[in-house]
């Protein structure tokens, strides 16, 4: 996976590649799907959600430019896989999901892997987790109609938000870097995510 799906397709950050190699993706998918755990595709999980394609997870992590000392917010815990990867790249991860069952399941897997620097929260991810802000970086694993203002406000100056933005033909994975009250915007790649449901996302 690391060589063929990631390095060969432009993932160059060695810390990201090492994290992706270290986290056992099969631990985060249902038993009947474990034979496809490392396939180059998203896979279904509970609550009609998905575990993202490995390249997408790596591309988000690379765009966040994590050095190891950061406080990171993750929107969309899902299975906990991306949180486990981020936990190897940052000092502490706060991960929020609107589905309590997914948060509980992720907690069990993260605990079984002795990953202790991930803090799980149940709530409206489109609003972030303001009580733990500001964040050095935010990874959003659901498509928003526009960059959620609450997430932008919770970034430190120089902080980075990666979020898929809805578009007509395909969602666009987008990086926004804070510069005072301005945000520099860079498109990363077309993608497809479940919608971000919440006050600053889509209605259910």
The residues carrying an active-site annotation are 52
Token pair 């005072």 in the structure block, residue: 180
* Coil vs helix vs strand at 189: strand
Contact 76, 126 (CB under 8 A): no
Q: What is the DSSP letter of 2?
A: I
Please report how the helices 100-112 and 81-89 are oriented relative to each other, as an axis angle in degrees rounded to 10.
50
Instruction: For strands 92-97 and 71-75, give the pairing.
Output: parallel
72, 94 contact by CB (below 8 A): yes
DSSP for 122-187, written as a single string: ES-GGG--GGG--EEEEEE-SBBSS--HHHHHTEEEEEEEEEEE--SSSEEEEEEEEETTEEEEEE
Residue 178's contacts (CB-CB under 8 Å, 6 or more residues apart) are 152, 155, 156, 157, 158, 159, 160, 161
């Amino acid at each position: 996976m690391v060589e063929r799906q990631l390095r060969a397709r432009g993932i160059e950050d060695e810390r990201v590649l090492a994290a992706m190699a270290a986290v056992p993706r099969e631990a985060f998918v249902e038993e009947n799907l474990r034979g496809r755990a490392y396939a180059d595709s998203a896979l279904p999980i509970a609550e009609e959600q998905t575990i993202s394609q490995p390249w997408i997870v790596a591309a988000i992590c690379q765009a966040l430019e994590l050095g190891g000392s950061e406080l990171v917010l993750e929107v969309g815990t899902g299975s906990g896989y991306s949180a486990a990867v981020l936990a190897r790249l940052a000092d502490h991860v706060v991960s929020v999901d609107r589905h309590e069952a997914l948060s509980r399941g992720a907690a069990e897997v993260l605990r079984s892997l002795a990953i202790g620097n991930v803090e799980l929260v149940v709530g409206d991810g489109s609003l972030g987790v303001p009580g733990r802000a500001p964040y050095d970086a935010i990874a959003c694993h659901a498509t928003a109609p526009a960059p959620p203002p609450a997430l932008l406000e919770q970034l430190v100056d120089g902080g980075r938000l990666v979020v898929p933005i809805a578009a007509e033909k395909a969602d666009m994975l987008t990086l926004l870097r804070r510069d005072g009250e301005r945000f520099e915007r860079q498109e990363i790649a077309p993608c497809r995510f479940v919608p971000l449901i919440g006050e600053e996302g889509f209605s259910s």
